[in-house]
Amino acid sequence: MSKVSGMKVKVFIGQPGTGKVLAGQQGATLNRSAETIDATSKDSDGGWKENVAGFKEFSIDCDGAFVESDEAFEELETAFLESEAVPVYIEFPSGRKYSGEVIITDFPIESPYDDIVKYSLSLQGTGALVKS
């Protein structure tokens, strides 16, 4: 069993296998969650509440150094300005991928006086997250 360095995990814009890597990307977080549905009844075990999993959702948060000439970043900006969903995927060094359609919910560009220009990105999944 080998551990994976986060610096080797990449975010791509587009479909798996044909997407463009997001230049300058530094950190990335794949968030996955499921709603809980109360399934408690009068005959539940020992008075303990019971739950079942409901609808699932995913989101991706990432940040990085801004690269003006990056095609993937340009696609994201266009999608944000036109309120369109975009396909994205995260790829691990082993080739494992998590992919899905997302909408962009937060997309700031920070320009500090004494540091490099950075972006951050919040992507909310719309539909299923696929593991391949």
Whole-number Å distance between alpha carbons of 86 and 117:
24
Helical (H) or strand (E) element with 125: strand 118-125
Residue 29 bridge partners (DSSP): 61
Q: Tell me the average pLDDT of the chain.
A: 95
Fold of 6-131: Factor Xa Inhibitor (4.10.410)
| CB-based contact 117:65 (threshold 8 Å) | yes
Nearest partner of 51 among 37, 32, 68, judged by Cα: 37
24-82: pLDDT as tens digits? 999 999 999 999 999 999 888 888 999 999 999 999 999 999 999 999 999 999 999 99
**pLDDT score, position 73:** 96
**pTM of the entire predicted model:** 0.91
> What is the identity of the amino acid at 76?
L
Q: For the chain, give every domain's residue range.
A: 6-131
Q: What is the pLDDT of residues 21-34, one digit of tens each?
A: 999 999 999 999 99
Which tokens is 131 given? 């593991």
